[in-house]
Amino acid sequence: MSDNTTIPALAPQPFPLREVTPWAIFGLIIGLIALYFIGLEQGALALFEGATIHEFVHDARHLLGFPCH
C-alpha cells in the first residue's frame, strides 16, 4: 500500500518594507559611525583630542586597508 502525501504549495509572502525600513536606516547610521571612527578619526580628520580612539581601532584600520602611519 502506498501513502500519497501532498505538500501544500507555499504562497509568497509580501516583503514588509515598512517594518524593515527603520532597521535599515539604523544599520546604515551605525555603519557610517563605525566607518568614521575606523577610517577617519585621528587620520585625515579628527574631532576628538588624543590618540585613544586611534589606538582602539588601529587593528581594524589595517584590516580594512586604511592607511594610518
Residue type, 23: W
The answer to whether position 13 is within a domain reads no
The answer to whether position 36 is within a domain reads yes
Tallying the residues shown for the chain, one arrives at: 69
The answer to whether position 45 is within a domain reads yes
* pLDDT value of residue 58: 83
| Grid coordinates given for 23 | 532597521
How many domains, in total, are found in the chain? Answer: 1
For 40, the domain range is 19-63
The answer to whether position 43 is within a domain reads yes
13-63 pLDDT per residue, tens: 888 889 999 999 999 999 999 888 888 777 666 777 777 877 888 888 888
Which ranges in 1-69 belong to alpha helices (H)? 17-39, 52-56, 58-63
